[in-house]
Amino acid sequence: MKVVVDEEKCVAAGQCVAAAMDVFDQRDEDGIVVLLTENPPAELADDVRNAAAVCPALAIRIEE
Amino acid sequence: MSEAETELAAPDAEIFDYPGARDRACPFAPPAGLRALNDTAPVSRGRLWDGSTPWLVTGHAAQRVILSDPRVSSNDKQPGFPYPNRAMAENAPHHPLTIFNADGADHTRIRRMMTAPFTRNRMEKLRPEIQRFTDELIDSMLAGPNPADLNAALSLPLPSLMICALLGVPYEDHEFFQEHASLATRSDKTAEQDRVAMEALGGYLAGLLQKRMEEPSDDVISDFAGRIKAGEVTLPEAVMLCMILLIAGHETSASMITLGTALLLQNPEQLALLRGTDDPKAVANAVEEILRYLTIPALGQRRIAAEDIEIEGVTIKAGEGIVVALPAGNWDPAAFPEPEKFDIAREARHHHAFAWGIHQCLGQQLARIELQVVYGTLYRRVPTLRLAVGFDELRFRRDDALAYGLHELPVAW
């Protein structure tokens, strides 16, 4: 699994961090998404898919 | 009138009058007529308070499409915009550009000035403080007369304490804020009352911003004061942004506590499940289901089409108003099987109680943690909590209130 985030689209809702905190974080200065790992391990795959699904700005793309 | 014209005119009579009237026997559920649209048309015409008939988007999937479409605008100065009430229609020409009515790059610029204090991690750090405020408010309620009004004892003061602490508004000014913020979220306010409340809040915030430009401290007002000094925003813009932070999370969160408690007391088996769990994830899940079930922002999201948009077999023409009926999306059986079933264990995270798209609620992580703390604390600390009046005596807010809820919740223990 490969994760791609779009900082331009991100609206800092924080949904991805709530869903998968080992994969996503937010910048302190404006809350914009920070990708902690591009290739998350298999055991986090469901959380990451969930994070992409709840992102209101559709800023997370997953390449399986 | 020809027969053909009669036939064309006939369906008009069946246009749903949004937001509709709830059934007093089940005041937690969206109006039956609104729910019925989920079975017939996910996008249809609805009639508003002023007689206008914008598009009404009720289906969950259609709501996601509309709220994610960059051709759908939030610009409330365009003719045809579907205003929630008369006061907002009359004041719209004077509304400055804010996160609510800005599109595209303007929206991104403004929103990013407001997001820093609300990151998930910063909100998690507030959890102990939220727990302390919650415990103290419950202590005070239990020490006072029994029965008491939960709305006044806990629901209203808690969000107010939190947002004021976050912003850096001195505690002694809370009462002033509560009064003006309450007025600003009422639908029966006049345009004049709206202006007076806004001016009073604005004057106060301008004074505070100027003070923090001289003597900054570690809070959001000081952050905005720094941005004014750096030339990133003007003083009036900063006042408006702080005002939005103050008002937006106030009655909505309070209503979730009061109305959520009424819902749980009417569903004792669900309340027992919630009270019996030690698992923070189960409590967090319950919060999502209560958000879905009650959908406090019952008037929905208001938009206007900037271009023609094809959706669900209809064409929304450029310049036509769009109302995204959030309660209907959250009770759409295609997204939430048996939506009338209140089930705190259901998967409900995809609800639209905070809306969807780039305008999704900025303060949602704060709201979530407040609600997790309250729902995880109140019913365990006060296991005998019960309604102090008959259910049919509860006074629900008007169906056209910006934030649905109860005027008060008399409880005993």
pLDDT tens track for B151-179: 999 998 899 888 888 888 887 887 887 77
**Residues in A touching B230 (Cβ below 8 Å):** none
Indicate whether B53 belongs to any domain: yes
Residue of B116, B354, B358 with shortest CB distance to A31? B116
Contacts with B20 (C-beta within 8 Å, 6 or more apart), sequence order = B30, B31, B33, B34, B399
**Residues in B touching A34 (Cβ below 8 Å):** none
Q: Within a 10 A sphere around the Cβ of B225, how many other Cβ atoms?
A: 25
Query: Helix axis angle, B268-276 relative to B364-381, nearest 10°?
Result: 100
B289 to chain A, closest Cα gap in Å: 15
B191 classed as catalytic: no
C-beta of residue A4 within 8 angstroms of C-beta of residue A63: yes
Q: Please give the tally of structural domains in chain B.
A: 1
C-beta of residue B411 within 8 angstroms of C-beta of residue B387: yes
Q: Which of residues 5-64 of A touch B (CB under 8 A)?
A: 8, 11-15, 17-19, 21, 25-26, 28-32, 50, 53-54, 56-58
Q: Which domain holds residue B80?
A: 3-156+250-412
B2 classed as catalytic: no
B251 classed as catalytic: yes
One-letter amino acid at B89 equals: A
Could you tell me which chain A residue has the CA closest to the CA of B124? A18
Contacts with A11 (C-beta within 8 Å, 6 or more apart), sequence order = A56, A57, A59, B108, B111, B115, B358, B360
Check B248, B286, B325, B401 and give the catalytic one. B248
Indicate whether B118 belongs to any domain: yes
At residue B117, the pLDDT reads 86
The CA-atom distances, in angstroms, between B304 and each of A13, B50, B156, B186, B234 are: 23, 16, 33, 23, 28
Indicate whether B139 belongs to any domain: yes
Strands (E), chain A: 2-5, 24-26, 33-35, 60-63
Q: What are phi and psi of B47, to 5 degrees?
A: -110, 135
Number of residue pairs across A and B with CB atoms under 8 Å?
A: 67
Residue of A14, A17, A57 with shortest CB distance to B357? A57
At residue A31, the pLDDT reads 94
Contacts with B68 (C-beta within 8 Å, 6 or more apart), sequence order = A57, A58, B356, B357
A59 to chain B, closest Cα gap in Å: 10
At residue B13, the pLDDT reads 53
Whether A4 contacts chain B with CB within 8 A: no
Q: Please give the tally of structural domains in chain A.
A: 1
Mean pLDDT for A47-55 is 95
Spatial distance between the Cα atoms of B368 and B3, rounded to a whole number of angstroms = 55
Residue B212: helix, strand or coil by DSSP?
Answer: helix
At residue B8, the pLDDT reads 45
Query: Model ipTM?
Result: 0.92
At residue B177, the pLDDT reads 75
B248 classed as catalytic: yes
Indicate whether B183 belongs to any domain: no
Residue of A8, A18, A56 with shortest CB distance to B120? A18
Query: Across the interface, do A18 and B119 touch by the CB < 8 Å criterion?
Result: no
C-beta of residue B168 within 8 angstroms of C-beta of residue B220: yes
Pairing between β-strand B55-57 and β-strand B321-324 as defined by DSSP bridges = parallel
Check B238, B370, B401, B403 and give the catalytic one. B370
Indicate whether B169 belongs to any domain: no
Indicate whether B72 belongs to any domain: yes
Indicate whether B56 belongs to any domain: yes
**Residues in B touching A53 (Cβ below 8 Å):** 350
Query: Across the interface, do B118 and A17 touch by the CB < 8 Å criterion?
Result: no
Instruction: Report which of A4, A50, A62 is spatially closest to residue B350, judged by C-alpha positions.
Output: A50
- Residue to test with chain B: of A30, A33, A47, most B Cβ within 10 A: A30
Check B253, B286, B289, B320 and give the catalytic one. B253
Query: Across the interface, do A26 and B360 touch by the CB < 8 Å criterion?
Result: no
**Residues in A touching B220 (Cβ below 8 Å):** none
At residue B187, the pLDDT reads 57
Residue with the bigger pLDDT between B87 and A51: it is A51
CA Rg value for chain B: 22
Regions in chain B scoring below 70 on pLDDT? 1-13, 181-182, 184-188
One-letter amino acid at B108 equals: T
At residue B356, the pLDDT reads 97
B361 classed as catalytic: yes
Indicate whether B230 belongs to any domain: no
**CATH number, domain at B78?**
1.10.630.10
Residue B16: helix, strand or coil by DSSP?
Answer: strand
Query: Helix axis angle, B174-184 relative to B191-214, nearest 10°?
Result: 140
**Residues in B touching A57 (Cβ below 8 Å):** 68, 357-358, 360
Q: Which domain holds residue A24?
A: 2-63
> Residue with structure tokens 């005596």?
B393
Residue A33: helix, strand or coil by DSSP?
Answer: strand
**CATH number, domain at A52?**
3.30.70.20
